Structure 1
Amino acid sequence: MKKFIGFVKKEFYHIFRDKRSLFILFGMPVAQILLFGFAISNEINNVDIAILDKADDKNSKEIIVNLKASKYFNVLDYLQSEKEIETAFQKGKIKAVVTFDQDFARNLQRPKTSKLQIITDATNPNVANTITNYINSIVVKYQMVNLQQDPPPQLVQSESRMSFNPALESVYMFVPGVMTVILMLVSAMMTSISITREKEVGTMEILLVSPLKSSTVIAGKVVPYIFLSLINAIVIVLLSVFVFHMPIMGSLFWLSIESLLFIVTSLSLGILISTLSSTQQTAMMISLMGLMLPTILLSGFIFPIESMPYPLQLISHIIPAKWFIIIIKSIMLKGVGFSFFWKETLILVVMTIFLLGLSIKKYKIRLA
Structure 2
Amino acid sequence: MKQLRSFIKKEFFHIFRDPRTMIILFGIPIAQLLIFGTVIKNEIKDVHIAIFDQSKDETTLEITNKILSSGYFLLDENLENTKDIETIFKKGKVRQVIVFESKFGEKLIKEGKAGVQLIADASDPNVARLVNSYTTGIINDYIKKMYPNLKLPMQIEPEIRMFFNEEMQSAYLFVPGVMALILMLISAMMTSISITREKEMGTMEILLVSPLRPAQIIVGKVIPYLLLSIANAFVIVLIGHFIFKVPIMGSFILLMFETILFILMALCLGILISTVAKNQMVAMFISMIGLMLPTIILSGFIYPIENMPTALQILSHVMPARYFVTIIRAIMLKGVGILFVWKETLTLIGMTLFFIALSVKKFKIRLE
With normalisation by structure 1, the TM-score equals: 0.59
Q: Paired residue for 1:198?
A: 198
| Superimposed CA distance per residue, residues 309-333 of structure 1 (whole angstroms, 9 cap, x where no aligned partner) | 1111111111111100000001000
Secondary structure in 2 aligned to 1:158? coil
Indicate the SS of the match to 2:313.
helix
SS in 2 for 1:278: coil
Partner of 2:319: 319
Alignment-derived partner of residue 340 in structure 1: 340
How many angstroms apart in 2 are the aligned matches of 1:358 and 1:315?
Answer: 21
Partners of 2:249 and 2:291 lie apart in 1 by 30
State the distance in 2 between where 1:314 and 1:204 align.
Answer: 39
Residues of 1 paired with 2:183 and 2:306: CA distance?
Answer: 25
Deviation of 1:272 after TM superposition, in Å, equals 0.5
Question: Separation in 2 of the partners of 1:189 and 1:282?
Answer: 11
1:298 matched to which residue of 2? 298
Measure the CA separation in 2 of the matches of 1:310 and 1:155.
36
Shift of 1:261: 0.4
Structure 1 unpaired stretches of 5+: 1-41, 43-111, 113-125, 137-151
Give the equivalent residue in structure 1 for 2:289: 289
What is aligned with 2:177?
A: 177
* 1:108 paired residue number: none
Q: Partner residue of 2:62?
A: none
**Cα displacement (A) at 1:160:** 1.0
The code of the aligned residue for 1:209 comes to V
Deviations 1:160-214 (A, max 9, x none): 1111111101110011011111111111110011110110011111111222111
Aligned counterpart, 2:233: 233
The letter for the 2-side match of 1:277 is A
Aligned mates of 2:257, 2:359 — CA distance in 1: 23
How far 1:153 moved relative to its partner? Answer: 2.5
1:255-294 equivalent positions in 2, closer than 5 A: 255-294=255-294
Letter in 1 for 2:362: K
Cα deviation, 1:246-299, whole Å, max 9, x if unaligned, reads: 100000010110010010011011110001101000000000010000000100
Q: Following TM superposition, by how much is the alpha carbon of 1:159 offset from its aligned partner in structure 2, in angstroms?
A: 1.4
**In 2: Cα distance, 1:163 partner to 1:241 partner:** 18
* Distance in 2 between residues matched to 1:367 and 1:241, nearest whole Å: 45
Using the alignment, how far apart are the partners of 1:306 and 1:228 within structure 2? Answer: 35
Query: Aligned to 1:159, what secondary structure does the other structure show?
Result: coil
The whole-number CA distance in structure 1 between the counterparts of 2:263 and 2:366 is: 26
Work out the CA distance in 1 between the residues paired with 2:241 and 2:305.
27
Tell me which amino acid in the other structure corresponds to 2:351.
M
Write the mapping of 1:12-23 to structure 2, written as runs, cut at 5 A.
none
1:1-368 pair list within 5 angstroms: 153-368=153-368
Distance in 1, matches of 2:174 and 2:163, equals: 17
CA displacement, residues 40-66 of structure 1 (integer Å, 9 cap, x when unaligned)? xx9xxxxxxxxxxxxxxxxxxxxxxxx
Inter-partner Cα distance in structure 1 for 2:174 and 2:240: 10
Q: In structure 2, what is the equivalent of residue 116 of structure 1? A: none
SS of residue in 1 equivalent to 2:157: strand
Percent of aligned pairs with the same amino acid: 60
**TM-score, length basis structure 2:** 0.59
Structure 1 SS opposite 2:161: strand
Structure 2 CA distance for aligned equivalents of residues 154 and 359 of structure 1: 62
Specify the code of the residue in structure 1 equivalent to 2:274: S
How many angstroms does 1:234 deviate by? 0.8
Greater Cα radius of gyration, structure 1 or 2: 2
1: CA distance, partners of 2:191 / 2:198: 12
Structure 1 runs, 4 residues or longer, greater than 3 Å off: none
Q: Take 2:314 and 2:182, find their aligned partners in 1: how far apart are those partners?
A: 24
Q: Distance in 1 between matches of 2:315 and 2:206?
A: 39
How many angstroms apart in 2 are the aligned matches of 1:358 and 1:220?
17
For 2:153 and 2:247, locate their aligned partners in 1 and report how far apart those are by CA, in whole Å.
41
| Alignment deviations for residues 9-49 of structure 1 (CA, whole Å, 9 cap, x no partner) | xxxxxxxxxxxxxxxxxxxxxxxxxxxxxxxxx9xxxxxxx
Instruction: Give the Cα separation in 2 of the matches to 1:282 and 1:157.
Output: 57
SS of aligned partner of 2:160: strand
Query: How far apart, in 1, do the equivalents of 2:236 and 2:364 lie?
Result: 37
**Cα distance, 1:334 vs structure 2:** 0.2
Could you tell me which amino acid in structure 2 is paired with residue 343 of structure 1?
Answer: K
Counterpart of 1:356, as a letter, is I
Looking at structure 2, the residues matched to 352 and 188 of structure 1 have their Cα atoms a distance apart, in angstroms, of 12
> Displacement of 1:367 after TM fit?
1.5
CA RMSD of aligned residues (A): 2.1
Distance 2:315 2:267 in 1: 20
In 2, distance between residues paired with 1:241 and 1:166? Answer: 17
